[in-house]
Structure 1
């Protein structure tokens, strides 16, 4: 059973925000300061986006015939996952990511380990340190088969740029290196970067099962809505494992 199958759970469970949406809402109501500089974060051009087909190789995310989530209301939502973190696969916790490096946008930082909050929603990096990205530990570890998920803020409450402020500036061919606890480095190649409206977030494209090791980098994006105090979009960078080497 995949991590996403467990995350999706039963269609009878109440809907909760997806990783990207929770990341957005975590900063909601608090990012009004310094907005004149914040809403100019780089946005990916159409030429940098992933093709509609051919790169991601998604399989049925529900594990075959289960309930498939769809965007609900103004946010993309998925049913509640398990309250306690569950390993993505047997022995998945034996190797964990410890840091991330993205030379093209100047990112080099240790990774937090993110789980779920008491109410079942996805934990996100703290607003007290927007320079810190985090790996969602119920997703595959980077280098395992499936989409590993790493979250980062676009900005902070004072206008400080977050770790993924320039995520939209990534281009196909850029590299992302993730150092792991077994002293190896998984190197990913960026396939594309897309920005999606909150009400059209492609849950299965982002979180759905894949046949090879992949990576998803997620932050807020698009225009900042002063009325709602939220960014209107989410930016997602897609990457595929290119190889591993000793740290």
Structure 2
């Protein structure tokens, strides 16, 4: 009789311990899920994505580059790193109608704020691209200038630029070998102080290439011509 009572006591005690253990486990799990996570926000800091804009405008009149947006979310709450995109660099221009195939030099602005010109031993055979603006083929006004002559009557690369007509084709080749084709849409002659710089260098929502050279009468005292010729072209897509 005593042995049976002992067995019942042990069984009851064991059941009580098991039930108590389950209760403690349930309470622990409930408390665990009630504890707030420290240092992590459950809401997006910027639902629309972070935006970085890179804009380069040399000044209010000369030069224009398209705005590039880089969108993305930082990983693991780290500070995002903006990786610059390499600019397309033109290296050659071809104008079949004028039998021109010339190298392109990248130039900036002079100390006077004007667009630079080609330089070096081949400056009269090569042309200058304004690197502060768009590259040929990009949205915006890309600008390439070439000499009319050497100042002493010897013809230079753009001597016959005025012979271009609406519809003529122009090609540029970039450093990666990609070719862009442009079509002449207009040509215009301007006085030294009357050129519409915003039309030539300013913003455009199209991919344009504008070619510039000297024209008109020679001013000996200033060693320059009194007019400028601009040939406006647009990308053939």
C-alpha change, 1:185 and 1:144, in structure 2 (3 Å) is same
Structure 1 contact 206–216 (Cα < 8 Å) conserved = yes
Contact 1:87 1:93 in 2 (8 A): no
Q: Is the 8 A contact 1:151 1:219 kept in 2?
A: yes
Q: How far does residue 205 in structure 1 lie from its aligned partner after superposition?
A: 1.6
Q: 2:125 aligned with 1:131, yes or no? A: yes
Q: Cα–Cα, structure 1 residues 207 and 92, in superposed 2: closer, same or farther, change >3 Å?
A: farther
Larger relative helix fraction: 2
**Are 2:219 and 1:225 aligned?**
yes
Which residue in the other structure is 1:64 paired with? none
Partner of 2:100: 107
> TM-score when scaled to structure 2?
0.64
Say whether residues 1:161 and 2:152 are aligned partners. no
Residue 211 (structure 1) shift: 1.0
- Structure 1 partner of 2:77: none
> After alignment, is 222-231 or 204-213 more displaced?
222-231
1:8 and 2:40 correspond = no
Q: Distance in 2 between matches of 1:92 and 1:190?
A: 29
TM superposition shift of 1:200: 1.1
Quote the Cα distance in structure 2 between the aligned partners of 1:98 and 1:118: 25
Q: SS state of the match for residue 104, structure 1?
A: helix
Asked which structure has the greater CA Rg, the reply is 2
| Matched pairs, number | 168
Q: Which residue of 2 aligns with 1:26?
A: none
Which structure ranks higher in relative contact order (CA pairs < 8 Å, sequence separation ≥ 6)? 1
Is 1:175–2:175 an aligned residue pair?
no
Could you tell me how far 1:96 is from its partner in structure 2? 1.1
Alpha-carbon contact 2:66-2:140 (below 8 Å) kept: no
TM-score, normalised by the number of residues in structure 1: 0.61
How far apart are 1:212 and its partner, in Å? 1.0
Contiguous gaps of at least 5 residues in structure 2: 1-53, 69-83
Instruction: Note the C-alpha offset of 1:93.
Output: 3.6
Say which SS state the counterpart of residue 205 (structure 1) adopts.
helix
